[in-house]
Amino acid sequence: MRNQAAERLKRLRAEMEKRGVDVYVIPTADFHGSEYVGEHFKARECVTGFTGSAGTAVILQEEAGLWTDGRYFIQAEKELAESGVTLYRMEEEGVPSVKEFITEKLPQGGCLGFDGRTVSAKAGEAYEKIAGQKQAGLMAQEDLVGIIWKERPPMPKEPFFILDESYSGQSTEEKLAHVRKGMKEAGADAHILSSLYDIAWLLNVRGGDISHVPVVLSFLVLTEQECVWFVQEEIVTEEQRRYLRERRISTMPYEKLTAYVSALQAKAVLYDEKSVNFGIVKSLPEQVKRIPGSNPSELLKAVKNPVEIQNTIVAHIKDGVAFTEFMYWLKTNIGKIPMTELSASDYLTGKRRAQEHFLDISFDTICAYGANAAMMHYAATPESNARLKPKGFLLVDSGGHYLEGTTDITRTMALGPISDEMRRHFTAVLRANLNLAAARFLSGCRGVNLDILAREPLWELGLDYKCGTGHGVGHILNVHEGPNSIRWKLREDGEDNAVLEEGMITTDEPGVYIEGAYGIRIENELLCRKAEQNAYGQFLCFETITYAPIDLDAVDAGQMTRRERELLNQYHRTVYETISPYLSDAKKDWLKEYTRAI
């Protein structure tokens, strides 16, 4: 992979030289601003060799840089070694941002290039401004990576299915009415929707065009009278066409969006500048007023309706049974039968597949033993596949898509003896998880107001984790969903910092990562509920909806307060009551021991 990337980098520079391009930007993106992208769109990985899901490459003739966040520092350092690409650790002290780097490196009167279809309108306009400041040209119409990537995988064209209202809880007609109301409030008579998650939610469809993200590659344009879905029409069955017609939704070929937008008869267009790409916005007629803003559907889908909530809890019970059976197998067989990271991951996936209405795993399982777990988003390969031994920690971050909903759970398990330091760190992570889950807070709070509840036990030890504490979770969609999140440090663009509302689901996943030694993470999902209302206002709280034991073999109860021990005991009582009815007698006895009061 590294040699291939070096050769592609060389060929890309030749294409840049032909066109007089001094700086070329390659984001991790498809045409929709998706977090995870299909194989066809992995241009940044193609050129740099870095396989993480987040990062931006900036290519010059004599140097190249890769910007990624703290989840990937260790992984990127390994994958970029001897590649000629420098790792820039985002948000670290003294590290320039992508925009600062381009501003410094772009020569006066030079040329800045990128594929305008894969750069958001917001980022594209920032790059355009930098080029203007340098009296430089802007080349955003050509995909240079596509020219040199001879073996590029084709565009995905997977079939899709209609999600029944018994699972979605709301009809497409109702959802369209809510979005049109949001358009009107924003002063727009047209709305361009690029986010694949929002389109899937709005139309009640689920597909398979991105691995483990059940979406359909498409765009949507909505006016008061029309709803036009730009989709690869050959994948639409006659039954699905009937479903769409009944809801006054027409289809057009996926590749016709730009031509349609360039002839759009509208006074004002609403679009999310973080997901609608630069090329689309540039194609809008000059007389059309542009209204950048959040998609109305973003908040609508983040606040789960009663049917979605009820179904999601069912999905978590199924998932809890699968994970508990996996943990039982792991704990009772470690050291007795051969196990590796990959075989353990496959066993867990098999347990999920056995559950009714299982659709897919919700992301590539992170099954990381020992030092591998210090890489937050480690993915085992045949080359790195570690053999599991009856000692140390195994970290497993995994989840599933079911017809009822999506799950995301992490457990770190002691496979045998662990050091005092490991036990101390595990207990601190556990305390962090419990304290956040027990939060009670006034309506109006954001995740940034609550993050300290999780970080405090770690900060007390002089420790931290270089990522957020929690993210929203999609409903049979992307496992990472905004606009709700829990983090202490606001992002530069202020994204994913919404007020927490009843019905939102957010993860609770503090951790400790010691490079070269081990990683620890404990993750549950939290459902935001209303608590009491009094003279001070409406209070909110969390309900933990993930059901699986936390490994008591790694806990030092002496480090926990009485309240924290009781929180753990309460949680384990809920786990036993919820999961035990689905287990055999032997597994039920084991679960009783692993959820005992401490």
Mean pLDDT by runs of 10 across the 598 residues of the chain is: 77 96 96 95 93 93 93 89 90 92 97 97 96 96 94 95 98 98 97 98 98 98 96 96 97 97 96 96 96 96 98 98 98 98 98 98 97 92 95 98 98 98 98 98 97 98 96 98 93 80 98 97 98 97 98 98 98 98 98 98
Tell me, yes or no, whether 190 and 134 share the same domain: no
Looking up tokens 């957020």, which residue turns up?
468
CB 116 within 8 A of CB 43: no
Of the three residues 117, 148, 179, the one that is the final residue of a domain is 148
Q: Residue 2 has what pLDDT?
A: 53
Cα–Cα–Cα angle for 461, 465, 469, rounded to 5 degrees: 110
Longest dimension (CA), the chain: 75
Tell me, yes or no, whether 451 and 511 share the same domain: yes
Could you say which DSSP state residue 496 is in?
Answer: S
Asked, for residue 579, whether it belongs to a domain, the answer is: yes
Q: Could you give the CA distance from residue 213 to residue 198 in angstroms, rounded to a whole number?
A: 12
CB 250 within 8 A of CB 223: no
Tell me, yes or no, whether 289 and 314 share the same domain: no
| Token code pair at residue 256 | 């016709």
Of the three residues 148, 177, 198, the one that is the final residue of a domain is 148
From residue 493, how far is each of 489, 497, 501 by CA, in Å? 11, 10, 21
Strand partners, 488: none
Asked, for residue 572, whether it belongs to a domain, the answer is: yes
Asked, for residue 153, whether it belongs to a domain, the answer is: no
Tell me, yes or no, whether 494 and 563 share the same domain: yes
Q: How many domains does the chain have?
A: 3
pTM: 0.94
Q: Residue 3 has what pLDDT?
A: 65
Tell me, yes or no, whether 144 and 221 share the same domain: no
Tell me, yes or no, whether 144 and 177 share the same domain: no
Tell me, yes or no, whether 354 and 206 share the same domain: no
From residue 24, how far is each of 19, 28, 88, 397 by CA, in Å? 11, 13, 16, 35
Of the three residues 225, 260, 294, the one that is the final residue of a domain is 294
Tell me, yes or no, whether 453 and 356 share the same domain: yes
Q: Residue 183 has what pLDDT?
A: 97
Asked, for residue 472, whether it belongs to a domain, the answer is: yes
CB 84 within 8 A of CB 9: yes
Q: Could you give the CA distance from residue 182 to residue 188 in angstroms, rounded to a whole number?
A: 9
Pick from 438, 447, 464: nearest CA to 561: 438
Q: Which domain, by its residues, includes 110?
A: 2-148
Q: Could you give the CA distance from residue 80 to residue 67 in angstroms, rounded to a whole number?
A: 11
Amino acid at 493: D
Provide the CATH number for the domain around residue 580. 3.90.230.10
Tell me, yes or no, whether 460 and 531 share the same domain: yes
Tell me, yes or no, whether 113 and 198 share the same domain: no
Could you say which DSSP state residue 152 is in?
Answer: P
Asked, for residue 315, whether it belongs to a domain, the answer is: yes
| Token code pair at residue 67 | 């910007």
Asked, for residue 598, whether it belongs to a domain, the answer is: no
Q: What are residue 265's phi and psi, to 5 degrees?
A: -95, 85
Amino acid at 147: I
Q: Residue 492 has what pLDDT?
A: 66
Which residues have CB under 8 Å from 527's CB, separation 6+?
Answer: 304, 309, 312, 313, 503, 504, 505, 542, 543, 544, 545
| Token code pair at residue 323 | 């994970």
From residue 518, how far is each of 49, 73, 373, 387 by CA, in Å? 25, 15, 5, 15
Other beta carbons within 10 Å of 445: 14
Pick from 304, 349, 377: nearest CA to 526: 304
Asked, for residue 156, whether it belongs to a domain, the answer is: no
Q: Could you give the CA distance from residue 427 to residue 450 in angstroms, rounded to a whole number?
A: 20
Tell me, yes or no, whether 558 and 453 share the same domain: yes
Tell me, yes or no, whether 325 and 281 share the same domain: no
